Amino acid sequence: MVNRSRKVLFGGLALVVALVVSGCNANAGPTESTSEGTATAMESVPTGGTLHYLSRRANESWETANAQMVPTSRLRWVHRGLTSWQTFPDKETILTPDLATDTGTTDDGGQTWTFTLKDDLLFSDGTPITAEDVKYGVERSFAPMFQGGLGYHKTLLVGAEDYEGPYDGEELDSIEVVDDQTIVFHLNRPFGNWPWIVSMPAFAPVPAAADTEPETYGEHPVASGPYMVTEYTKGSQAVLERNPHWDQKTDDVRLAGPDKIIVDMGLNNDTIVQRLIDDKGDDKDAISNALISPSQFQRIESDPSISDRLANGPSGYFRYIALNMKSPELADVRVRQALNFALNKAELQSVYGGPKFGGEISSTIMTPGMPGYEEFNLYDGGDKGDVDKAKKLLAEAGVTDLTLSLTYPADASAIEEKEALSIKNSLAKAGITVELNGLDSDTWYELISSGGDGYDLTTSGWGADFPSGMSTIQPLFASSEIGNGGGNASNYSNPDVDAAIDAAISEPDLDKAGEMWAAIDKQIMEDAPIVPILVQRTQALAGSNIVNYFIPAYPPFANELVVGIDE
């Protein structure tokens, strides 16, 4: 993913996203291509070879208790969860059983969830994987030493608010082990997305007997996935080799093509990209998490031998302008609607790299790839905006000489400055004066998450933690998320929307829930608390021997579990 500003907002994978780019799927040759050029995910990949992972992270770890990594990431080479995700270049990501036999059952509308483990599951040391191991893995994520991570379960499990992990001998009673293969989760409210939650890192099984040194467990964990860590030098390199007790017949989400994986840590970002561009030696068998700069894209695009190796996402992070509902100047909905009509989104798209590199112009909150997503545009002024319509709405509201402040993180990246200036110039054509207020990221974050005034407009970006409208709509628009570090930068509060959000969260039928989230999307946009800008795209480069490397509509990352090496 190309993302110059990686500041995490509020929680989860919410990001201020600066530059994300797009194109065609990498190495589409070995896959079945359609007439439109999209590739179909391969059902199998060649077996053998050594995969090289070039990481810009100072340290890679296989600790699950505080990880934020999605279920298609390298963390899942080593660990499995109760459920996981199957991704495709050309259709929605789907939830699928992993260690469990199904994606969970509930008999009380989503407040109690039961999962049964598959038969004959073994850890890398040959011991059986049991429900008790899953329970312990979740419990250790509550320990104070493991701060951060994807923590939805910490607010949903009964009694979790006072629990501090298993290291003092205490258990969390709301995680009930019925027998070796059956585990039951008791939640404090109905929650239809729980099957997605149990795909997250903390739900990987951990045998308590092996957790004698929790601080370093992530360096040599007991593996449930197809690979185990056999060598580990912190901040330098890890070597993963096949887990002899992993059985492909029990695993529908990992292809496990390479015989070995070598992870090199702490590499310079631009150096990684240049190595992949040059495509020499072991780098032909490499993938990475490096971010590609605009200057590097020019080189990549000009050479088909490089551009053919570029994985490109059709969808990604949501970029928008939050309109502070506590600002007197924005109290009239017609003013907020005028801003939606006035904005020249095509110019902003150019700031981010144009349709090919920057992303698709957006008019909704939910993004393509999310279940239930519906395309609509309540304020269709065309890509360049409708200045006359905006002026008419301002006149109807009795507003003249409107001046608004635009606050943004000025130290995030140069593109934030260009974005702000573009917005200023765009709105000026509708007679709206915009005063720019660039702040350092920490001050900006404190301001917009405080729940108060002090700004009229702010730019922001968001990435959902799991494929559900809940993972975007609830954190950005629920009244409960105003202030106290919450993500509701618009300070938007609508009791009817809050009730609709609560109903959609509780709905255990995920197809029905998707329809409910789509309806809430329209309900919110009728109040116009934001101006959607773009659905940003993501790109990643791979070596020439890598096959089945693609970025789905969601998540905006390549699926690292399904790649192979074709030499």
- Summarised one tens digit per residue, pLDDT across range 328-363 is 999 999 999 999 999 999 999 998 888 877 889 999
Predicted confidence band of residue 40 (pLDDT cuts 50, 70, 90): low
Which one of 264, 298, 328 terminates a domain? 264
Q: Which residues pair with 323 in a beta bridge?
A: 457
Residue 157, in any domain of the structure? yes
User: 117, 100 in Cβ contact below 8 A?
Assistant: yes
Same domain assignment for residues 347 and 481: yes
154, part of any domain = yes
Domain boundary residue among 264, 297, 328? Answer: 264
- Residue 13's identity, in one-letter code, is L
**pLDDT range class, residue 566, cuts 50, 70, 90:** very high
For residue 41, being part of any structural domain is answered with: no
The CATH number of the domain where 159 resides is what? 3.40.190.10
CATH number where 517 lies: 3.10.105.10
Query: For 361, phi and psi rounded to 5 degrees?
Result: -60, 140
- 3-state SS, residue 113: strand
Distance from the Cα of residue 235 to its chain's centroid? 25
Percent of the chain with pLDDT over 70: 93
- Token couple for 170: 């205490």
Domain co-membership, 391 together with 463: yes
Identify whether 165 is part of a domain.
yes
Single pTM value for the model? 0.88
**Summary mean pLDDT of the chain:** 91
The model's pLDDT over 384-405, given as tens digits with 9 standing for 90+, comes to 999 999 999 999 999 999 999 9
What does the pLDDT read at residue 81?
A: 98
Domain for residue 24, yes or no? no
Name the phi and psi angles at 52, rounded to 5. -105, 130
Same domain, residue pair 347 and 251: no
516 and 395 within one domain: yes
Are 333 and 205 contained in the same domain?
no
Is 143 among the domain residues? yes
Read off the pLDDT band of 296 (50, 70, 90): confident
Give the per-residue pLDDT at 36: 34
Burial class (CB in 10 A: 0-12, 13-18, 19+), 36: exposed
Are residues 233 and 360 both part of a single domain? no
Residue 399, in any domain of the structure: yes
Range of the domain at 144: 57-264
> What CA–CA distance (Å, rounded) separates 228 from 124?
7
Provide the pLDDT confidence category of residue 263 given band limits of 50, 70 and 90: very high
Within this chain, do residues 390 and 458 fall inside the same structural domain, yes or no?
Answer: yes
Supply the pLDDT for residue 31: 33
**How many structural domains comprise the chain?**
2
What's the pLDDT at 361?
96
Do 388 and 518 have their domain in common? yes
Three-state secondary-structure class, residue 524: helix
Task: Let me know whether 337 and 247 are in one domain.
Answer: no
- Read off the pLDDT of each residue in 275-283 and give the average, rounded to a whole number: 97
For the residues 260-288, what does the mean pLDDT come to?
97
| pLDDT classification of 149: cutoffs 50, 70, 90 | confident
Q: What is the average pLDDT across 34-56?
A: 78
Residue 285 covered by a domain: no
Task: Render 27-52 in DSSP notation, one character per residue.
Answer: T-TTS-B-TTSPBPPPS-----SEEE
In this predicted structure, the answer to whether residue 21 has a pLDDT above a threshold of 70 is: no
447 and 525 in a single domain? The answer is yes
Evaluate if residue 60 carries a pLDDT over 50.
yes
Do 377 and 520 lie in one domain? The reply is yes
Answer with the one of 219, 249, 264 that is the final residue of a domain.
Answer: 264
Q: Are residues 242 and 327 in the same domain?
A: no
| Nearest-angstrom CA–CA distance, 485 and 11 | 9
110, 194 in Cβ contact below 8 A? Answer: yes
